[in-house]
Amino acid sequence: MRRVRGMKAAALLLAGSMALAACASDEDSSSSGSGSSGGSSASSGDLQIGLAYDTGGRGDKSFNDSAYAGVEAAIKDLGGNVTELTPNADASNRVDLLTQLADDGNNPVIAVGFAFADALAEVAPQYPDTQFAVVDSSVEGTGLDNVTGLLFAANEGSFLGGVAAALKSESGHIGFVGGVESPLIQEFEAGYVAGAQAAKPGIVIDRQYISPNGDFSGFSDPAKGKILAQGMFQSGADIVYHAAGGSGQGVFEAASEAGGRAIGVDSDQYETVGDPALQAVIMTSVLKRVDNAIQGYLTDYSEGSISGGTDEVNDLESGGVGLSTSGGQIDDIKTQIDDYTQKIVSGDIEVPTTP
């Protein structure tokens, strides 16, 4: 009898947590709803853009938001509207998202995140007249001739982040918090470590990941991000770089509490973090200009110069990655940063992609 009651309690707990999850995710999707209508009311040009977000959807203050910003900017220039779709919690319906967007007549359809690679391989051949783009995934060699890969040299941007951290560190001890130990994030780590060591040989670099590969909770676990960063600050680090999506919030909090500083990722987090106390600790952000890449892609598309089946690599040279300067905290080392940028662009420095 006691057992049965236990199960009922568990069921109630389960239902309650689902309801909470629904409430929590509601903000995102309601804003996405209004966003899409806002997009459509902006103008009625030719572009009808389908945008499939990575898990979490719009409102992540990072990756997905950056993608939306690119679409928004393109619509401003070119006209058109956008339909945005977000996958379900376990992201098992990516194929459905793409199918729906293509069925609804959107063209091009942009998939945000490498996780769409398999889904695209399934859906794209079914819609040969639709152009697809996928962020962070290479399409060369897959034979998908209506898909464009939008790639980023995250290692190059992170290299500069490493340089900045090494030059600004007073203790000679810095840190790196990765979200999920996947090849994509390891690229950030590799560039960061290489940059820091280039600027200050022998510097101590703590490197930790929130979750192992396959467990994507690391991108949305600020509490754990905070714990890892706290540990680094306590052991003497004074600057911590995060490549951990939503978990970065915890890294900023830890920096603020420890009197240290942090480096943001993807978008200019100095501008997006919202909290003045946290803003103060964001020394710079390693930009991954998903917005630029998408805007560029859409411009090319509207000009008819997209052929598909190729990758567009956004690197330091094209301005697809870089460092943000909002807040002016790295203005004093601008010359060194520019110097390294030059060396990377010219090929004098080859930035590794694996740690």
Q: Which residues pair with 261 in a beta bridge?
A: 239
| Residue 22 sits in the site that holds another protein (CB under 8 A) | yes
Q: What are phi and psi of 22, to 5 degrees?
A: -65, -45
User: Measured from the CB atom, is 319 or 352 closer to another protein?
Assistant: 352
* Interaction mask 118-157, another protein, x per CB under 8 A: x---x---x---------xxx-------------------
Shortest Cβ 280–another protein spacing (Å): 34
Which range of residues in 32-40, 165-173, 200-208, 248-256 is near another protein by CB under 8 A? 32-40
In the list 155, 182, 272, 314, the residue contacting another protein (rule: CB under 8 A) is 182
* Vertex 269: Cα angle to 264 and 274 (nearest 5): 135
Q: What are phi and psi of 19, to 5 degrees?
A: -60, -40
- Strand arrangement of the beta sheet that strand 48-52 belongs to: 81-85, 48-52, 109-111, 132-135, 147-152, 311-314
Shortest Cβ 221–another protein spacing (Å): 13
* Interaction mask 76-115, another protein, x per CB under 8 A: -------xxxx-xxxxxx-xxx-xxx-xx---------xx
Distances (CA, A) of 283 to 109, 172, 232, 265, 320: 35, 16, 17, 11, 20
Distance CA(3)–CA(228), nearest Å, equals: 38
Shortest Cβ 40–another protein spacing (Å): 9
Shortest Cβ 160–another protein spacing (Å): 21
Shortest Cβ 96–another protein spacing (Å): 5
Shortest Cβ 166–another protein spacing (Å): 25
Which range of residues in 22-30, 222-230, 239-247, 264-272 is near another protein by CB under 8 A? 22-30
| Residue 352 sits in the site that holds another protein (CB under 8 A) | no
Contact 67, 110 (CB under 8 A): yes
Distance CA(54)–CA(47), nearest Å, equals: 22
Q: Can you give the binding site for another protein, defined by CB under 8 A? A: 3-4, 6-8, 10-12, 14-16, 18-19, 21-23, 25-26, 29-30, 32-33, 36-37, 83-86, 88-93, 95-97, 99-101, 103-104, 114-115, 117-118, 122, 126, 136-138, 181-184, 212-215, 353-354
